[in-house]
A and B are shown apart, each in its own frame.
Chain A
Amino acid sequence: MNRQRRVIKLCVVISLAMMLTGCWDLTGLDEKVFVIGIGLDKADEKGKINITYLIANAEMGSTMGGGTNEKSSMTITVRASDFISMKNIANSVISREISYDLLRLILVSEELAKDEEFIRFIYSAIKDREVKRTVHLLVSKEKAEDFFKINKPLFLSRPHKYYVNMLRRANEVGLIPESRLHYFLRITEADANLFLAAYTTTSIKKTEDEFRADENDAIAGDMRVEGETNNSQFLGAAVFLEGKMIGTLTGVENRMALMINDTTEVSDVLSVFPDPANKDYQISVRIKKTKNTRVNMDLHGKTPKIHVTLPIILDVLTDPAMNSPVESKKELEKIRKGMEKYMEGRVKELVQRTQQEFKAEPFGWSLYGRKEFKTLKEYKEFDWMKTYPDMKVDIDVSIRFGKFGEQPKTPSYKEIRD
């Protein structure tokens, strides 16, 4: 019995000691280097892509040991077949283990996004556990490696903060969609909707004649911005159908799409409407959507019909005509009807564009449509994507006025100028 006990104790100790020998997953923080963004570009060879890493400098901005004078980030571009094997290839240049823990964005160049094969590369993202489904998917007009090189945001020493904040804020105001990898995969696999990805660029049009007149119809790169500020623009959306990019939406169109879609949230939208009283000027409004879009479907006839009601609350913030329409109900009514018509017009334009140009919708109406079917088979037979371009879509915008700014009344223009 004594001998048995000894042997047993020895076995337990040895087996426990065996676990001490490895600590296989143990890596000190100073043995890792953190990748904030991955850029994907088309490569000459089929089956390969040019991958760019945007690597953060950990010593930047740390208080101990003084801030270094080095740059806050560095880029490295290598041709590889996917970004999992890239991790090891890059180790011929990068001295430490590459970690995707801080990965926040995947930037695809427009060229690659329009390629048929793009979807094969993006699916390698779900195989690596470190690449979360919450990373943002962006499309850039130029090559991704150029974007990372040229983009130098000011006032921020940590680049990941810049990207995270930019993507969040621009999404809040509706200028870009919340284009996470999770939604991309989900929408592509469900095969019924369009996926909208944020569109960005650093190549901003500099010469006079290339500028568009209206900031409202701008897409990234179109807006004229001067001054010593950040040199990239995040505006508008790239439209993906079945994993391939087929076009773009302007910032305002994107905002409208986000508002109509119930699954996305746009909270702080400031927009302009032409002033019905004075067509040279525009009224600024804050658009709030507190209730869900009402979508009524009638899918059983020969032509399926969708009736969409969009309830909005408007806060009228400026009054460039300066004749205080708050006073009279008739004036208000005129403004309201005018705005409703204007909005309906623009939304109809967008819907028509999706029906004719893109042949699918980014509004999430397929989710409403699903309710009308009993089994998956029926739904798949109906094939939302095929029948969408032929549907008759009715848009109804119902506007209710909210506040009128801090000070509702403005002095009359005529009174001041007399």
Chain B
Amino acid sequence: MFKLLKNIAGRKNKLKPGQSKNTLAKQNCQKKQSVSAHIDENIDLMKEIYQIPHNRDVKIRELKIGGLSKKAAIFFISSITDVQSVEESAIKPLLANTRGDAGIDEIIATQNVTAFLDIKDLVENINQGNAVIFLDGSTKAFVFECANFQGRSVEKAESEVLIKGSKEALTEKVIVNLSLIRKRIKNEDLIAESMTISKRSHNVVYILYIRNLADEKLVANVKKRLASLNVDAIQNLSLLEQYIEDRRLSLFPSLLYTERPDRATSFLEDGHIVLLMDNSPDSIVLPATFWSFFHTAEEHYLRFIFGNFVRVIRMVAMFITIFISAIYISVTTFHTEMIPADLLLAIAGTREKVPFPIFFEILIMEVAFELIREAGLRVPNPMGPTIGIVGALILGQAAVEANIISPIVIIVVALSGLTSFTISDISLNFALRVIRFLFILSAGVFGIYGMSALFIMGLFYLVSLKSFGVPYLAPMSPHYVSSGDTIFRRVITHENFRPGYLKPADIKKKGDGAAK
């Protein structure tokens, strides 16, 4: 659309892009060699590749292996390796070695030792935090694992808060995340595969699934998509999500994003696939349906009645947040006969002094609320609560006193804003906020007719969405065998089946409850 306008305006497009040399290819070329038998050549090559001594944290330790009297050199990046383990498990035993015929793998005491022939593989391993040892006279170089990246420790979940349930959250270190997940699924069939997906930064994605549950075709599809990426760098899962999602421009997310390991594990147990990456304190679950965005973990941790009670409240809250401003506009401007008489006269009385039509009032207040909300997120902690109180109460009250807006509008907008906080998933939250504005617009144009029209169009659209081959509103809309957990959840012993739309290998989940 904008291109059309640009063409009409006659603007010249096509700025020349800057120099785009393919430096990556040059770099790759340099690494396409194999280990030479002379250690000095290897050392010089590595020094050139890593720009030692310009690169301050890349270290070489040249030593003579005791007993073998051969020269050896250990390369590692000190900021990302466990230096103590290198010293104690590698350097010390090498120096202290007295046997004359020992192989490297018998001397070095780390968790694993692998041999490589190509410089490319060695460089990749050093970048991953491992250490490489070159031996004089050998065309093989050995890599031993000692990676130790710095990161945050396991802390409480910040955006998905529960009262009853575990409070751990995933962190930026993949090892820790894997540990948290494996803590919950102690099954040898929980496979954690890894793939490198970016060309320059060599970011690694971990794909988790339970082998005899998840559909093999789905796993293959995911792997194919990841392998087909041709990007320089994908730093974390948030960026990865935008690369692999089905529809980039759509309002509704197609991948679920969760920072809680217990949620990720429950999806794994149903047959979903979970993606983990370094630098992302969360995980991506796919395929995702609308219900996975709507549910929280707490509803299953609570007992049946309380869980459903919470669901009902969240359902009502979702409707309120989308519709209430729009309903207010349409009822007071198009369908005034609907309001009870006293309220009608009250509203009419207060509108005497207010300058704006109701549509603009609501729009102003909604925008103001969104501004306050965004500001509240970025405010440094000591001032946080104060801003909230100042913004909401005093500004609102002052605006009413100054006759800029009528008091009922404040209630309506506050309700619609507050109820949006009940949806904890961030993508759905944003989606609902944008939808709310669309509904306000449609209500301002055509009242309830416009709202219904938009609703039905949205429903038609929603029903046609697919996330990795799974319809968005399954299992409600195309009917599949499932645990029956869509709007209301069932008693836990009745949720017997895994979601049929994932085509899991084993669909039955559990039997009856404990025998009394």
Does chain A touch chain B in the assembled complex, meaning CB atoms less than 8 Å apart?
yes
Q: Taking beta carbons and an 8 Å cutoff, which residues of A are in contact with B?
A: 6, 9-10, 13, 19-20, 23, 25-30, 32, 34, 56, 58-62, 64-65, 99, 101-102, 104, 130, 158, 160-161, 164
Given contacts A28-B351, A30-B352, A101-B336, contact A23 B344 (CB under 8 A): no
In Å, the complex CA distance between A287 and B445 comes to 55
**B403 contacts which chain A residues (CB < 8 A)?**
65
Say yes or no: A6 contacts B345, CB within 8 Å. Answer: no
Chain B interface residue count, Cβ-Cβ cutoff 8 angstroms: 30
7 interchain residue pairs of minimum CB distance: A62-B349, A58-B348, A30-B351, A101-B337, A58-B349, A59-B349, A29-B348
Partner of A28, one of B333, B349, B407: B333
**A64 contacts which chain B residues (CB < 8 A)?**
349-350, 400, 406-407
**B447 contacts which chain A residues (CB < 8 A)?**
25-26
In Å, the complex CA distance between A269 and B337 comes to 34
Residue of A nearest to B332 (CB): A29
Partner of A26, one of B334, B342, B353: B334
**B446 contacts which chain A residues (CB < 8 A)?**
19, 23
Say yes or no: B349 contacts A32, CB within 8 Å. Answer: no
Report B127 CB to chain A, min CB distance, Å. 44
Say yes or no: B445 contacts A23, CB within 8 Å. Answer: yes
Say yes or no: A29 contacts B445, CB within 8 Å. Answer: no
Given contacts A26-B333, A26-B447, A160-B341, 10 further A-B contacts (CB under 8 A): A6-B1, A9-B1, A25-B447, A26-B334, A29-B332, A29-B344, A61-B349, A62-B349, A64-B349, A101-B336
Which B residues, 275 to 334, have Cβ-Cβ distances below 8 Å to chain A?
A: 332-334
Say yes or no: B344 contacts A101, CB within 8 Å. Answer: yes
Residue of B nearest to A19 (CB): B445
**A158 contacts which chain B residues (CB < 8 A)?**
341-342, 345
Say yes or no: A130 contacts B337, CB within 8 Å. Answer: yes
Report A162 CB to chain B, min CB distance, Å. 12
Report B162 CB to chain A, min CB distance, Å. 41
Q: Decide if B346 is an interface residue (CB 8 Å cutoff).
A: yes
How does the 8 Å CB contact mask read for B1-33 relative to A, with 1 for contact and 0 for none? 100100000000000000000000000000000
Residue of A nearest to B359 (CB): A26
**A102 contacts which chain B residues (CB < 8 A)?**
341, 344-345
Q: Decide if B358 is an interface residue (CB 8 Å cutoff).
A: yes
Partner of B357, one of A20, A25, A28, A34: A28
**A28 contacts which chain B residues (CB < 8 A)?**
332-333, 351, 357-358
What are 15 sample pairs from A and B whose C-beta atoms fall under 8 A apart? A28-B332, A29-B332, A29-B344, A29-B347, A30-B348, A30-B354, A58-B346, A58-B352, A62-B349, A65-B352, A65-B403, A104-B341, A158-B342, A160-B341, A160-B345
Partner of A29, one of B336, B353, B444: B336
**B347 contacts which chain A residues (CB < 8 A)?**
29
Which B residues, 84 to 99, have Cβ-Cβ distances below 8 Å to chain A?
A: none
**B400 contacts which chain A residues (CB < 8 A)?**
64
Residue of B nearest to A62 (CB): B349
Report A150 CB to chain B, min CB distance, Å. 23
Say yes or no: B345 contacts A25, CB within 8 Å. Answer: no
Say yes or no: B407 contacts A29, CB within 8 Å. Answer: no
Report B346 CB to chain A, min CB distance, Å. 6
In Å, the complex CA distance between A6 and B5 comes to 10
**A30 contacts which chain B residues (CB < 8 A)?**
348, 351-352, 354
Residue of A nearest to B407 (CB): A64
Interface centre among A34, A64, A65, A99 (most CB of B within 10 A): A64
**B332 contacts which chain A residues (CB < 8 A)?**
28-29
Q: Taking beta carbons and an 8 Å cutoff, which residues of B are in contact with A?
A: 1, 4, 332-334, 336-337, 341-342, 344-354, 357-358, 400, 403, 406-407, 444-447
Partner of B346, one of A13, A27, A62, A160: A62
In Å, the complex CA distance between A20 and B441 comes to 10
In Å, the complex CA distance between A160 and B342 comes to 9
Report B368 CB to chain A, min CB distance, Å. 20
**A13 contacts which chain B residues (CB < 8 A)?**
1
In Å, the complex CA distance between A13 and B2 comes to 13
**A25 contacts which chain B residues (CB < 8 A)?**
334, 447
Interface centre among A56, A99, A102, A104 (most CB of B within 10 A): A102
Report A160 CB to chain B, min CB distance, Å. 5
**B354 contacts which chain A residues (CB < 8 A)?**
30
In Å, the complex CA distance between A387 and B93 comes to 124
Residue of A nearest to B450 (CB): A19
In Å, the complex CA distance between A61 and B342 comes to 10
**B351 contacts which chain A residues (CB < 8 A)?**
28-30
Report B249 CB to chain A, min CB distance, Å. 14
**B358 contacts which chain A residues (CB < 8 A)?**
28-29
Given contacts A29-B348, A58-B345, A62-B346, contact A20 B333 (CB under 8 A): no
Report A167 CB to chain B, min CB distance, Å. 14
Partner of A59, one of B333, B342, B352, B445: B352
Report A7 CB to chain B, min CB distance, Å. 9
**A27 contacts which chain B residues (CB < 8 A)?**
333, 336
In Å, the complex CA distance between A28 and B351 comes to 9
**A130 contacts which chain B residues (CB < 8 A)?**
337
Report A208 CB to chain B, min CB distance, Å. 41
Residue of B nearest to A64 (CB): B350
Report A366 CB to chain B, min CB distance, Å. 34
Report A163 CB to chain B, min CB distance, Å. 11
Say yes or no: A32 contacts B336, CB within 8 Å. Answer: yes
Interface centre among B336, B342, B353 (most CB of A within 10 A): B336
In Å, the complex CA distance between A34 and B343 comes to 13
In Å, the complex CA distance between A317 and B36 comes to 118
Say yes or no: A62 contacts B336, CB within 8 Å. Answer: no
Report B354 CB to chain A, min CB distance, Å. 8
Report B343 CB to chain A, min CB distance, Å. 11
In Å, the complex CA distance between A23 and B447 comes to 9
Residue of B nearest to A130 (CB): B337
**A101 contacts which chain B residues (CB < 8 A)?**
336-337, 344
Residue of A nearest to B403 (CB): A65
**A65 contacts which chain B residues (CB < 8 A)?**
349-350, 352-353, 403
Partner of B445, one of A6, A20, A161: A20
Report B75 CB to chain A, min CB distance, Å. 55
Residue of A nearest to B329 (CB): A26
Report B139 CB to chain A, min CB distance, Å. 58
In Å, the complex CA distance between A129 and B33 comes to 88
**A19 contacts which chain B residues (CB < 8 A)?**
445-446
In Å, the complex CA distance between A64 and B411 comes to 15
Interface centre among A9, A25, A30, A161 (most CB of B within 10 A): A30
In Å, the complex CA distance between A13 and B1 comes to 10
Partner of A99, one of B334, B336, B352: B336
**A61 contacts which chain B residues (CB < 8 A)?**
349
Partner of B349, one of A23, A60, A160: A60
**B445 contacts which chain A residues (CB < 8 A)?**
19-20, 23
Residue of B nearest to A101 (CB): B337
Report A60 CB to chain B, min CB distance, Å. 7
In Å, the complex CA distance between A29 and B337 comes to 11
Residue of A nearest to B330 (CB): A26
In Å, the complex CA distance between A161 and B345 comes to 11
**A56 contacts which chain B residues (CB < 8 A)?**
345
Residue of B nearest to A129 (CB): B337
Interface centre among B334, B341, B407 (most CB of A within 10 A): B341
In Å, the complex CA distance between A130 and B346 comes to 20
In Å, the complex CA distance between A20 and B332 comes to 18
**A9 contacts which chain B residues (CB < 8 A)?**
1, 4
Report B408 CB to chain A, min CB distance, Å. 10
